[in-house]
Amino acid sequence: MNANWYENFFHGVALDLWRKAVTPEQTQAEAEFLIKILEPAPQTRLLDVPCGNGRHSLELARRGYRMTGLDLAEEYIAEARQNSAAGLNVEWLCRDMRRIPSEPQFNGAFCFGNSFGYLDHAGTQEFLAALSCALKPGARFVLETGLAAESILLGLQERRWHRVAEILMLAESRYDAFDSRLDTEYTFVRDGRIETRPSSYWIYTVAEVRRLLGQAGLVAQALYSSLDEKPYQLGSPRLFLVAQKP
C-alpha cells in the first residue's frame, strides 16, 4: 500500500460522489454545531483542515467568520475558490494538512470527515503539532471521524455497496491488526465506466487520539456521537472530539 495514496485519490468520480452525498441542510447543521462548540467571537479567524470543496468554510464565512480552508486536492480548492462569493472573507490554501501556517492566529479549528486517519503515526503527530502551533491560547479544536476503533471495528464489513445518485461504489476492506490499519479498495461505477482506487486508514482508539492531542498540547474536553451532543459510546458511528489549547 502506498503511504501517500491520498495524493492521487481525490479527483473525478470520488469527489463527485461526495458532492452528491452531502446535502446543504447537513452542512448548515454542522456549521451551527461548530459555532456552538468552538464559541468563536464574531469575525474571528477559524481553520478548516482539510476543507474539501470548502462547504463548511463557505457557510461559516456567510455567517461572518474569517475562514482559512486548507486541502491537498487541487480540484476541490479550485471549486472552493470558484464558489467564493464577493465579500466573503476566505483564504484558500492548496497544500498538505501538515503545512498549516505556523504562527498562532486561529481562534478555533476543525477537522471533519475521515481525514484524521490518512497519515501514518509520525505524520499524524506532525499534523497535530502544526495545528496546535496555529491556535491561539484558549482556542478549541473539533475532530470528527467515523474511523475511531470503537466506531468501526465492531461491525466492520469486508464488502459494502453504496449508491449515490448515478454512482455505484464498492468498498472492499481488510483490517491489518498488526499495524492497526484498514486497507480499503474502492471501485466506482458510473455510465458503464469502472475506476478502482486504493486507500489506507490508520485506526486509533479514542484514548490514543486523546493522548496524541495531549502530546501536541491540546487537552480533550468532551466526546459526542452526534450534532445534538449525545455522549459517545462503544459502537457510535461518529466521534466528535472537542479539545482546547490551554
Q: Residue 221 — pLDDT band, cuts 50, 70, 90?
A: very high
Tens of pLDDT, residues 11-57:
999 999 999 999 999 999 999 999 999 999 999 999 999 999 999 99
Arithmetic mean of pLDDT over the chain: 96
Name the domain count of the chain: 2
Which residues share a beta bridge with 69? Answer: 48, 92
- Per the domain annotation, does 39 fall within a domain? yes
- For range 139-155, the mean pLDDT: 97
> Is the same domain home to 144 and 157?
no
Tens of pLDDT, residues 169-218:
999 999 999 999 999 999 999 999 999 999 999 999 999 999 999 999 99
- Per the domain annotation, does 170 fall within a domain? yes
Candidates 74, 157, 144; CA nearest to 112 is 144
Q: Residue 2 — pLDDT band, cuts 50, 70, 90?
A: confident
DSSP structural state of residue 69: E
> Is the same domain home to 134 and 31?
yes
**pLDDT-above-90 percentage for the chain:** 94
- Per the domain annotation, does 237 fall within a domain? yes
Note down the domain range covering 165. 151-200
The CATH number of whichever domain residue 210 belongs to comes to 3.40.50.150
- Per the domain annotation, does 117 fall within a domain? yes
- Per the domain annotation, does 1 fall within a domain? no
Neighbours of 157 (CB within 10 A): 10
Task: Write down the pLDDT at residue 201.
Answer: 97
Task: Write down the pLDDT at residue 1.
Answer: 62
How far from 124 is each of 39, 171, 201, 209, CA to CA, in Å?
26, 24, 11, 10
Residue 204: its H or E element: none
> Is the same domain home to 144 and 172?
no
- For range 61-84, the mean pLDDT: 95
CA atoms within 13 A on the CB side of 203: 24
- Per the domain annotation, does 173 fall within a domain? yes
Tens of pLDDT, residues 47-62:
999 999 999 999 999 9
> Is the same domain home to 236 and 170?
no
Task: Write down the pLDDT at residue 86.
Answer: 77
Cβ within 8 Å of residue 57, ≥6 positions away: 48, 51, 67, 68, 69, 80, 90
> Is the same domain home to 18 and 86?
yes
- Cell numbers describing residue 83: 464558489
> Is the same domain home to 93 and 118?
yes
Tens of pLDDT, residues 105-124:
999 999 999 899 999 999 99
Tens of pLDDT, residues 186-195:
999 999 999 9
